[in-house]
Structure 1
Amino acid sequence: MKNTARPLSCMALMVLALAVTSCGSVPPVTTTASVTAPAMRQLATVRVGPSVTETALLSSMPGAQILSFDREGGYAVVSLPAAQQNLQAAGLVSGRLQALDATLVTLEPDLDVAVQSDDEAESMGITTWAGGITTWAGGITTWAGGLSFLAGTNLNGALSYLSQLGIPEAHKLVPELGKGVKVAVLDTGVDLNHALIKSRLDTVSDWDYIGNDAVPQEEQAASGTSSKYGHGTGVAGVILQVAPNATLMTYRVLRPDGSGPLSYVVQAIDRAVTNGAQIINLSLGITTNSSALNTVIARAVEKGVLVVNSSGNTGTAGMVYPGQNVGSTMFPKGSGLIAVGSVGTTLKKSKFSSYAKNMSLTSFGENVLTAFPGTRIVSASGTSFAAPAVSGALALALSTGRAQPTTLSTDLLNSTTPNLDPTYNGGLGTGTLNVYNLVRNYR
């Protein structure tokens, strides 16, 4: 993978466009020495009738754990022990399950997730934050307007892409700045003490699925192992630049090496919806379609939650899932599932960005300034940092009180700035995010 560094740091780290794989389709996952990966389990998506209870379902499936249960929606997603490798052993074809008015839809492995091992994957160049931290949440003008913490060249670059996104004008039009809107970030965790982020965290709803506690703090990888440290903090920072007053719900579903079971993502989406998330940011993905993942995302969308997914960093045709499902029968364009690719300030496809005919839109994913653990900032590149700009724009729009989730996705796609890439325009969606064009629909 390609590393980039900035003058004030000798550190660089690779960050993700996550890929969950079927057995043998990508290089093995590198697991940090400090974390023991759970034994392989199976994920069962089950259709349930109106009389089915969680207790009754568990009693019919020995050793099972319910990840998501929605009797009103008529489904459950269940995790089964590794030893139960066939339907009979799992009790899924037994009379007990059938008697519950429950039917198995799919059974799939709970695959581990892994960063793509592509040379053009995401990278961060780390520098030291030297001041100006108190005005981060007050709007982009005050955050990016102080020379106390950015070299002039970095400042000019930041102001350039922020201006192209229409953020300064959008902030003037929407002084709420995302207030009252909850955005769930499913990632490696967040630096909970970062001065630019800590006042915007919903610490009541947060959860760490890796550590199994309520403190989703990013953790360093063990010495000598692969590290994606700072990825979640960077994603959170981008959201808050666009919607400074939004509330972040943080769910740590990935280890420090950027990997984690799909079941954690399923559980976190379910928890986020239950806790009132209006937007879910998934700067991660899988390379195989997953019924369990599709089911919980469909439930979220039906409840008016917008789900934003980065397209992936292979630089080639075809996005990662769930974004690859945009335009499908389950997730037609405008449904609330949004797939985001990356362009540079020339409005041409980033070399690393995956692309596809069914992509929703693009945003800037090259040299994006954002937060990094330890009260630092970074210049980050990758589709993982394009997606949260869209999540922030949606939060800004919702904070007006006039945007409706059922039509907001369509408004988003209709408000973009046309891309200028003659080679890839057919695979870059409707254009590049224009935050001002979006929010002026409501003001």
Structure 2
Amino acid sequence: MPRLPHVRVGWAGRAARALTTLVSAAVLTVGALAVAPAPARAEDVITTQEYFSYYHLDTARAKGYTGKGVTIALIDGPIDTSAPELKGANITDKSRCTVEEAPRGLNHGTALASILVSQNYGVAPDATLYLYQASDDNSLSGGTCVVGDKRLDSYAILINQAIDDGAQIISISMSAPDPSDDVKWAIARAMSQGVIIVNSAGNTGADNNANQLSRWSGVVGVSAIKSDGSFADYSSWGNGVTTAAIGEPFTRRDYETGQNTTTYGTSYAAPLAAG
């Protein structure tokens, strides 16, 4: 399941409008897996992101829009819950298994969790975040997630688990070429129970709808814009894309180099929309 969409009905449009309102008001999001990375130095702490002022999140927080009482599920790779940006965040690992990852495997999920619930710059700092670990093409192995010919970290299994656990929003910044009926019915169940699924559009700079969960109605596809409001040239698009959010720039930790780095992508736009 590489990181980073049928039944298209009016519900998706309503969900998109609702999400646009939520992004403007700035509420909600996400989860994490405990690992043992190298300790961060105090001077490396990331204290802000450019999108914070773009979305006026300080004003939203002052009005009480902090995600309190909301549960967000993040389906992604492992997360470094000891990262200083996540200090004080309410994160619970709900993973059904453990993926074997290289150090860089922490980069993606940790950044997404921080966008959602960092006390400094998270869209929904007081939300409860549940993590559901899933492997992708960059994982060293499926770890304990492969049992015989069955995967415990498939989208269908994890979406259903997140619903069972009480998640109200599910954020997924990974592609999903799997067209199985199991995935379709998991999404249909989420729709029937009012659980919003948000999925990144991808970074191919093309119509990438067929490779994303947002090809199914009921999933809100998110493309990326720049901080000046223009469409990001790397962002994918497609019929499943119903909203957009800032996709750059983001500062995140690089667990291979031990330094902070600047990055971009629809992966980061998705949790902003979910929040």
- Out of 270, 275, 299, the position equivalent to 2:189 is 299
Judged with a 3 Å threshold, the aligned counterparts in structure 2 of structure 1 residues 206 and 377 are, in CA distance, closer, same or farther, namely farther
1:289-320 CA distance string (max 9 Å, x none): 33211211211121111111000111012323
1:242-284 CA distance string (max 9 Å, x none): 1111111011111582586585322211111111111111101
Amino acid at match of 1:384: S
Q: TM-score, normalised by structure 2?
A: 0.71
Q: Does 1:316 align with 2:206?
A: yes
SS of 1:360's partner is: strand
Amino acid at match of 1:317: D
Q: Gapped runs of 5+ residues in structure 2?
A: 6-39, 143-150
- Alignment partners' CA distance in 1, 2:124 and 2:243: 19
Judged with a 3 Å threshold, the aligned counterparts in structure 2 of structure 1 residues 305 and 201 are, in CA distance, closer, same or farther, namely same
- Alignment partners' CA distance in 2, 1:256 and 1:199: 31
Spell out the pairing of 1:40-51 with structure 2 (5 A cutoff).
none
Deviation of 1:234 (Å): 0.9
- Alignment partners' CA distance in 2, 1:198 and 1:268: 26
Judged with a 3 Å threshold, the aligned counterparts in structure 2 of structure 1 residues 236 and 263 are, in CA distance, closer, same or farther, namely closer
Which structure has the larger Rg? 1
Judged with a 3 Å threshold, the aligned counterparts in structure 2 of structure 1 residues 275 and 297 are, in CA distance, closer, same or farther, namely same
Q: Does 1:243 align with 2:243?
A: no
1:54-109 CA distance string (max 9 Å, x none): xxxxxxxxxxxxxxxxxxxxxxxxxxxxxxxxxxxxxxxxxxxxxxxxxxxxxxxx
Cross-structure match for 2:76: 187
Cross-structure match for 2:262: 379
Cross-structure match for 2:58: 168
- Alignment partners' CA distance in 2, 1:164 and 1:299: 34
Amino acid at match of 1:16: R
SS of 1:230's partner is: helix
Q: Does 1:359 align with 2:236?
A: no
Spell out the pairing of 1:24-423 with structure 2 (5 A cutoff).
130-131=42-43, 143-144=47-48, 158-159=49-50, 161-173=51-63, 175-197=64-86, 199-203=88-92, 206-211=94-99, 219-220=101-102, 227-240=104-117, 241-254=122-135, 257-258=138-139, 264-319=154-209, 320-325=211-216, 331=217, 335=218, 337-370=219-252, 377-392=260-275
Say if 2:74 and 2:132, in contact at 8 Å, map to a contact too: yes
- Alignment partners' CA distance in 2, 1:129 and 1:177: 28
Q: Gapped runs of 5+ residues in structure 1?
A: 1-14, 20-127, 137-142, 145-157, 212-217, 222-226, 326-330, 393-443
Judged with a 3 Å threshold, the aligned counterparts in structure 2 of structure 1 residues 298 and 262 are, in CA distance, closer, same or farther, namely farther
Computed over aligned residues only, the root mean square deviation of the Cα atoms, in angstroms, reads: 3.0
Q: List structure 1 runs of 4+ shifted beyond 3 angstroms.
A: 128-133, 258-263, 370-378
Amino acid at match of 1:242: V
Cross-structure match for 2:3: 16
- Alignment partners' CA distance in 2, 1:249 and 1:263: 14
Percent of residue pairs identical: 28
- Alignment partners' CA distance in 2, 1:391 and 1:377: 24
SS of 2:227's partner is: coil
Deviation of 1:379 (Å): 2.3
Deviation of 1:357 (Å): 4.2
Judged with a 3 Å threshold, the aligned counterparts in structure 2 of structure 1 residues 361 and 233 are, in CA distance, closer, same or farther, namely same
Say if 2:97 and 2:152, in contact at 8 Å, map to a contact too: no
Say if 1:343 and 1:349, in contact at 8 Å, map to a contact too: yes
SS of 2:189's partner is: helix
Judged with a 3 Å threshold, the aligned counterparts in structure 2 of structure 1 residues 376 and 389 are, in CA distance, closer, same or farther, namely farther
Say if 2:168 and 2:195, in contact at 8 Å, map to a contact too: yes
- Alignment partners' CA distance in 1, 2:273 and 2:97: 25
Deviation of 1:367 (Å): 1.7
Deviation of 1:132 (Å): 9.0
1:151-203 CA distance string (max 9 Å, x none): xxxxxxx44x3222232222222x25111211111111111222322532443
